[in-house]
Amino acid sequence: MKEQLEQIRAAAKQALSGAATGQDVDALRVRFLGKKGELTAILKQMGSLSPAERPAIGQLANEIRADIEQAVAQRMRAMQEKATAHRLQRETVDITMPGKVSPQGCLHPVNLVTEDLIAIFQSMGFDVVDGPEVETEYYNFTALNVPQDHPARDMQDTFFLGDDLLLRSQTSCAQIRTMETRKPPIRVICPGRVFRADEVDATHSPVFHQCEGLVVDKGITMCNLKGVLEQFAREIYGPETKVRFRPSFFPFTEPSVEVDVSCAECGGKGCRVCKDAGWIELLGAGMVHPNVLRACGIDPEVYSGFAFGIGLDRLAITRYKISDIRLLFENDLRFLSQF
Ligand code: FA5
């Protein structure tokens, strides 16, 4: 029996050394150590031994079982280590390989000037507010003191969506919405998209962008308006840029001005962009009309204010010397990727 046991030990070790997979090793464990395994079968014959032989054989059988168990565990571990090494090799990443460069986008020129404009006005203490693009006649015209028979209300200039609804033709609606919800002192800007049935040319688009500005407080004068706008123009175009104020008319401001900047394309000599004027109209502005303050529940005897509306697309074309406003809306990547 002793020889049989030693044979099992030798057979088990040899078989284990030839096992190729974890499944093979497990099958060998069952074959030698399992309930119906070869070692168990031998041990079942122990009853036929004399009492004197039994302890030594029993001890040897236990020793062989432990030996085979250890060999199984060792073989299993070796196989796992081999599999791990193989996987690590297969999954190795060469971190010295050059990466794949993904194409990088850039901001649209109108977004670039809008971001700069927001930063400039924020540095002067203005808050940024938002307003709806679909407006009512009340906010776009009536509350802004625009008479019922004003030509801007005409279907030709404004895109109407229904009896009372329209696509806002100016960001000035933000003046009313702000004064309805905030008490003076007020200092806000409202950048956004506006719509007009305008004839398209190098400086006019039916969809364009404006930024409204509104300041209301005690003692606000035209000087404050001039100071803020000059500071803004200098920061956007540089100190050499010329700014021109012309008397104008808006129903919601009194007095009103039109503000021009010298044409960046021709330096003021006259060209296609400025229609030979040397100047490009950039914004409308003025002192908030008492009727507008009153419509928003603000006493014009106590408070005064100024407002302005900047054309952001005009700002972009003058700043980047773009010869035609239509380029901003064509979405040609060869053009847009230059900014
Ligand atoms: C207004 O829209 C007034 N709401 C501005 C204002 C605000 C005045 C507050 C007083 C107080 P105007 O129609 O001039 O004004 O337009 C303002 C600016 O928008 C213009 O100076 C110009 O830069 C730009 N603009 C006007 N029409 C177009 C257009 N079709 N395409 C591109 N830009 C335009």
Instruction: Fill in the DSSP letter of residue 324.
Output: -
Residue range 198-224, pLDDT digits in tens: 999 998 999 999 999 999 999 999 999
Name the strands in the sheet holding 207-217, side by side, starting at the edge strand that comes first in the sequence. 127-128, 186-195, 207-217, 304-311, 279-288, 253-262, 243-250
Please check the confidence at residue 273 and state whether its pLDDT lies above 80.
no
Please check the confidence at residue 272 and state whether its pLDDT lies above 80.
no
What fold is seen in the domain 109-336? BirA Bifunctional Protein; domain 2 (3.30.930)
Please check the confidence at residue 155 and state whether its pLDDT lies above 70.
no
Ligand 1 pocket: which of 178, 194, 281, 318 to mutate (most atoms within 8 A of CB): 281
Distance of CA 40 to the CA centre of its chain: 71
3-state secondary structure of 238: coil
Residue range 300-316, pLDDT digits in tens: 999 999 999 999 999 99
Burial of 169 (0-12, 13-18, 19+ CB in 10 A): buried
Going from the Cα of 258 to the center of ligand 1, the distance in angstroms, rounded, reads 9
* Confidence (pLDDT) at 230: 84
* Confidence (pLDDT) at 1: 80
For residues 252 and 270, the answer to whether their CB atoms sit within 8 Å is no
Going from the Cα of 311 to the center of ligand 1, the distance in angstroms, rounded, reads 6
For residue 22, the tally of other CB atoms under 10 A from its CB is 13
3-state secondary structure of 123: helix
pTM: 0.72
Q: What share of the chain is helix, strand, coil (3-state, %, to 5)?
A: 45, 20, 35
* Range with top average pLDDT, 48-62, 115-129, 261-275: 115-129
Across the range 275-303, mean pLDDT stands at: 93
Better pLDDT: 1 or 324:
324
CB distance 284 to ligand 1 below 6 Å: yes
Tell me which residue has its CA closest to atom 23 in ligand 1: 311
* Confidence (pLDDT) at 294: 95
Better pLDDT: 115 or 274:
115
Which of 171-175, 215-219, 316-320 is least confident?
316-320
Across the range 249-266, mean pLDDT stands at: 88
Q: How far is CA 91 from CA 83, 94, 114, in A?
A: 12, 10, 48
In this structure, the strands spanning 165-167 and 304-311 are unpaired
Which of 61-65, 172-176, 219-223 is least confident?
61-65
Average pLDDT, the chain: 91
Across the range 54-75, mean pLDDT stands at: 90
Task: Provide the percentage of residues in the chain whose pLDDT is more than 70.
Answer: 99
Going from the Cα of 113 to the center of ligand 1, the distance in angstroms, rounded, reads 16
CA proximity to 117, closest of 326, 323, 311, 267: 311
CA proximity to 189, closest of 203, 165, 209, 208: 209
* Confidence (pLDDT) at 247: 96
* Confidence (pLDDT) at 312: 96
For residues 24 and 79, the answer to whether their CB atoms sit within 8 Å is no
Q: Which atom of ligand 1 is nearest to the CA of 285?
A: 10
CB distance 170 to ligand 1 below 6 Å: yes
Ligand 1 pocket: which of 244, 250, 260 to mutate (most atoms within 8 A of CB): 250
Phi, psi of 92, deg, nearest 5: -60, 135
Across the range 169-176, mean pLDDT stands at: 96
In this prediction, residue 330 has a pLDDT band, given cuts at 50, 70 and 90, of very high
CA proximity to 318, closest of 287, 273, 259: 273
CB distance 244 to ligand 1 below 6 Å: no
